[in-house]
């Protein structure tokens, strides 16, 4: 009997070890995505719940542990760059600025993993960057433009019959609104957590409206020009005329103030309309202001990618499979409807944006400008944001903002 019990215990122990070994052998896949759900509605689905729900069947079908991490936007570029360098970084990753990632071969070439049909399904596939071997390394999204919004009731209260679209008329209307209503007319988010966040709403559109091009004939960033000076002088005039005050350097709540009916004009993400409507704001879109070169709104192409190190980890095929699920029309339709609205970027998507927004963009397709990728972009934009803040504080002139930013970029960032 004792020999039988000993044998039974040994068999049981071996079986347990085999189970644990199988569990240890289970592949682990890590996905990094930034936070997109900022709704305060108690019924709003969180980012983590959304993505865990999307990937649950995938994990079971492929016998893989999927770990989704939702990262803050603050220092996002630095976080993912560092993570992609490390062996314990992400397998699938949401990418914003991709220049340094491509240059340093941190992203997996995708052409050999995807079928021609899968590649053809991505509307912006051909504009994505390629690695040294000529393979595409991202699935480009369409971020849409950041339209302007105006409060129709505040304009009516100020006696303004039509939206003031030129730079000169917009500044004059802003002054009139504050004088006649005592309400704030216009604010920008110069206190954003990164230069990228600040500039995409508060500088690049005006630079394009002034006729600026981000890159010179050599593909290098160059803003120390007539358009850059015009854009900065225009922005500074809001401070000089009392539209902005000293708090503009830390302003980060302009959207909340517009939603509260306290602000006449704001430039914001394309999906803010429902929030404004739900708050009772009588609002309308405007595509952009009209500068010396005409209208100009910025767009960008954030993307999804797979880490090059996934090949070393042996997770590359699974990671690409997860990537195709994440970027499928069905998944992104659900994401755009439940979490954050963006234009569709696949042929198999059936998602439709707000018809008014679609009509707005369709009427100005020739005035939508992509914010280009270039070496050290995130650091450059942080430096430009800081110098513009110093301009508002009276420590730098617009000319000095341009010259000092470019000098710092050439001497420090590129080195």
The pLDDT tens digits of the residues spanning 21-71 come to 444 578 999 999 999 998 888 899 999 999 999 999 999 999 999 999 999
- Residue 167 or residue 88, greater confidence: 167
Whether the pLDDT of residue 230 is over 80: the answer is yes
Q: What is the pLDDT of residue 41?
A: 86
Q: What DSSP element (H or E) covers 254? A: helix 254-259
| CA–CA distance, 14 with 20 (Å, rounded to integer) | 10
> pLDDT at residue 14 above 50?
no
Return the SS3 of 353: coil
**For residue 362, which of 247, 414, 278, 285 has the smallest C-alpha distance?**
285
pTM (predicted TM-score): 0.80
For the chain, domains (ranges, CATH) are: 25-143+301-358 (3.40.190.10), 148-299+376-413 (3.40.190.10)
* pLDDT value of position 266: 98
| Predicted local confidence at residue 13, as pLDDT | 45
Higher pLDDT, 100 or 264: 264
The confidence score (pLDDT) of residue 352 equals: 81
- Considering only CA atoms, give the Rg of the chain: 25
Could you tell me whether strands 27-34 and 64-71 are parallel, antiparallel, or unpaired per DSSP bridges?
parallel
* pLDDT value for 385: 98
Residue range 197-229, pLDDT digits in tens:
999 999 999 999 999 999 998 889 999 999 999
Residue in this structure with the two tokens 């990937």, named with its chain if needed: 55
Contact 214, 374 (CB under 8 A): yes
Interior/surface letters 5-37, b for 16+ CB within 10 angstroms, e for the rest? eeeeeeeeeeeeeeeeeeeeeeeebbbbbbebb
pLDDT for 18: 43
Confidence at residue 347, expressed as pLDDT on a 0 to 100 scale: 94
């Amino acid at each position: 009997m004792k020999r039988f019990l000993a044998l039974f215990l040994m068999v049981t122990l071996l079986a347990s070890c085999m189970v644990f070994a199988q569990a240890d052998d289970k592949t682990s896949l890590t996905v990094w995505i930034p936070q997109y759900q900022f709704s305060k509605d108690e019924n709003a689905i969180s980012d983590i719940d959304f993505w865990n729900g999307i990937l649950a069947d995938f994990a079971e079908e492929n016998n893989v542990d999927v770990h989704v991490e939702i990262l803050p936007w603050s220092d996002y570029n630095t976080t993912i760059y560092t993570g992609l360098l490390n062996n314990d970084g992400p397998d699938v990753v949401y990418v914003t600025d991709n220049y340094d990632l491509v240059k340093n071969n941190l992203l997996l070439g995708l052409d050999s993993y995807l079928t021609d049909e899968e590649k053809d399904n991505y509307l912006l596939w051909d504009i994505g960057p390629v690695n040294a071997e000529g393979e595409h390394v991202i699935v480009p999204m369409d971020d849409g433009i950041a339209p302007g919004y105006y409060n129709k009731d505040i304009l009516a209260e100020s006696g303004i019959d039509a939206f003031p679209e030129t730079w000169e008329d917009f500044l004059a209307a802003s002054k009139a609104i504050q004088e006649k209503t005592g309400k704030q007319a216009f604010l920008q988010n110069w206190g954003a957590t990164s230069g990228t966040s600040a500039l995409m709403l508060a500088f690049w559109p005006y630079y394009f409206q002034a006729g600026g091009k981000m890159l010179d004939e050599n593909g290098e960033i160059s803003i120390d020009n007539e358009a850059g000076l015009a854009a900065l002088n225009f922005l500074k005039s809001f401070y000089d005329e009392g539209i902005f005050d000293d708090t503009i350097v830390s302003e980060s709540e302009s959207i909340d103030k517009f939603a509260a009916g306290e602000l006449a004009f704001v430039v914001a993400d394309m999906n803010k309309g429902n929030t404004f409507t739900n708050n009772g704001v009588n609002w309308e879109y405007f595509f952009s202001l009209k500068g010396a070169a005409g209208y100009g709104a910025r767009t960008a192409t954030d993307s999804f990618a797979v880490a090059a190190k996934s090949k070393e980890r042996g997770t590359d095929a699974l990671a690409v499979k997860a990537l195709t699920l994440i970027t499928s029309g069905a998944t992104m339709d659900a994401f755009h409807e439940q979490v954050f609205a963006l234009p569709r970027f696949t042929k198999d998507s059936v998602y439709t944006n707000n018809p008014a927004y679609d009509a707005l963009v369709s009427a100005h397709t020739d005035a939508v400008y992509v914010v280009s990728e270039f070496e050290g972009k995130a650091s450059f934009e942080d430096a430009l944001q800081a110098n513009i803040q110093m301009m508002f504080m009276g420590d730098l002139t617009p000319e000095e903002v341009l010259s000092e930013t470019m000098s710092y970029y050439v001497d420090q960032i590129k080195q």
